[in-house]
Amino acid sequence: MTVHPLPRTPREPAPESVAVVLGTRPELVKLAPLVHALGPAARLVHTGQHWDEALSGRFLRELGLPAPQLLTGVGGRPRAGQIAVSLGQLDAAFADDRPAAVVVQGDTNATLAGALAANARGIPLVHVEAGLRSHDRAMPEEHNRVMVDHLADLLCAATPENAAELRAEGIAGDRIALTGNTVVEVVRDRLPDAAGRAALLARYDLTADGYLLATVHRPENTDTAGSLAAVLGALAELAADGRPVLLPLHPRTRAAAERFGLAPLLARLRVVDPLGYAEFLGLARHAALLVSDSGGVQEECTVLGRPLLVVRRSTERPEAVTAGFAALVSPGPELVAAARARLVEGPALPARLAATPSPYGDGRAAERIARLIPGLVSALPQAA
């Protein structure tokens, strides 16, 4: 399957006619290039799943996104409540001002709520980053992905592997477009230049290739004292080897560490508040090693050319592993051993990765998706 060609003569959708529904930091990051490509046609709806200054407010500004319609009462509820409360408000919003199409990205509760709301009103649905599968049915995100893909009218697969997963589930080929992943363009766009990165390293008192950068927030690593202690303990052991470990601490992880009495482990790391996107990319670009359970970081490391250890049981993004950027490890001794094995390679490893192409495409995914949307709107029967 080849990458979807750029359609030649796109018609401009009407102003604010494409509702882009999102609710978390990674959705803001990866939908930003598409919102820019859609221009005045885009209308943002933020469910408020993660609504605070550090995880959303700052990202809207930094990524140059328009002010969203913000739903209320969603954050902090359990999963079903988040979906139900978002769905009710989205349905009312779509009844009030019907969009020509709805765009969702990824696998969050906001993604599923947006997809259900579009489906309920017969509005064409676009799923960005379709076809990711961890095959781990213990992850709520896996269920969200599968449901959204089966509802969507246009499934934008980032990689041939994602497209193959969709076809294997019987989804018709004419609903699938191989577009690449918008992460490539957002990283290229937001990565600070060399002078900006040097200033960042100075501000954090770090030297290029002389530190580790870690993020931890998934339930599998934060829901029990044992799992969180295993990750933080391994990071503390690595810090004791002499390279500082910078840990921008997600609010969920901070709360869990306090609850489980793990402050002494945090004290052995360089703990900072969650970073802005450009700051995170700039610091990731020069880290000797990344350690993370994040989905987005598994893609970003391939554009930045940096090695990553993924502290997870399974991944829905095997491409970074296959291409040699990332490896899956369990928290604890396996993480320590894998990190030491990579660090001992020195600059040779990042040099090799910098020369390896990202499996996530050519940096034109958002443009492809934006040009496919008008055709989708006119091709599908519209409900009254």
Active-site residues, by number, are 217
Binding mask 26-45 for ligand UDP (x = CB under 6 A): x--x----------------
- Say whether residue 360 binds ligand UDP (CB under 6 A): no
Query: Considering all CA atoms of the chain, what is the largest pairwise distance in Å, rounded to the nearest integer?
Result: 65
Q: Report phi then psi at 218, rounded to 5.
A: -70, 150
The one segment of 71-79, 162-170, 232-240, 272-280 that binds ligand UDP by CB under 6 A: 272-280
Our separate counts of H helices and E strands in the chain read 18, 13
User: Whose Cβ is closer to ligand UDP: residue 54's or residue 376's?
Assistant: 54
Contact by Cβ (8 Å): 243, 343: yes
CA distance 88 to 372: 28
Dihedral sign for Cα atoms in the order 346, 351, 354, 359: negative
User: Whose Cβ is closer to ligand UDP: residue 145's or residue 371's?
Assistant: 145
- Say whether residue 296 binds ligand UDP (CB under 6 A): yes
Determine which residue in the list 89, 162, 221, 294 makes contact with ligand UDP, applying CB under 6 A: 294
CA distance 131 to 166: 5
User: Whose Cβ is closer to ligand UDP: residue 196's or residue 333's?
Assistant: 196
- Say whether residue 306 binds ligand UDP (CB under 6 A): no
Q: Which long-range contacts (CB under 8 A, 24 or more apart) does 343-347 make?
A: 343/241, 343/243, 343/288, 343/289, 346/209, 347/209
CA atoms within 13 A on the CB side of 186: 32
- Say whether residue 270 binds ligand UDP (CB under 6 A): no
- Say whether residue 274 binds ligand UDP (CB under 6 A): yes
Residues 230-269 that bind ligand UDP (CB under 6 A): 248
Closest listed residue to residue 86, CA positions, set 23, 30, 15: 23
- Say whether residue 316 binds ligand UDP (CB under 6 A): no
User: Whose Cβ is closer to ligand UDP: residue 212's or residue 372's?
Assistant: 212
Structure tokens, 207 = 């030297």
User: Whose Cβ is closer to ligand UDP: residue 101's or residue 183's?
Assistant: 183
Number of residues that bind ligand UDP (CB under 6 A): 15
The one segment of 1-9, 79-87, 296-304, 344-352 that binds ligand UDP by CB under 6 A: 296-304
Q: Least separation, in Å, of the C-beta of 311 and ligand UDP? A: 12
Determine which residue in the list 37, 113, 148, 297 makes contact with ligand UDP, applying CB under 6 A: 297
- Identify the residue whose tokens are 């497209």: 163
N-terminal to C-terminal alpha carbon distance within the chain? 36
- Residues found near ligand UDP in the complex (CB under 6 A): 25-26, 29, 215, 217, 248, 274-275, 277, 280, 294-297, 300
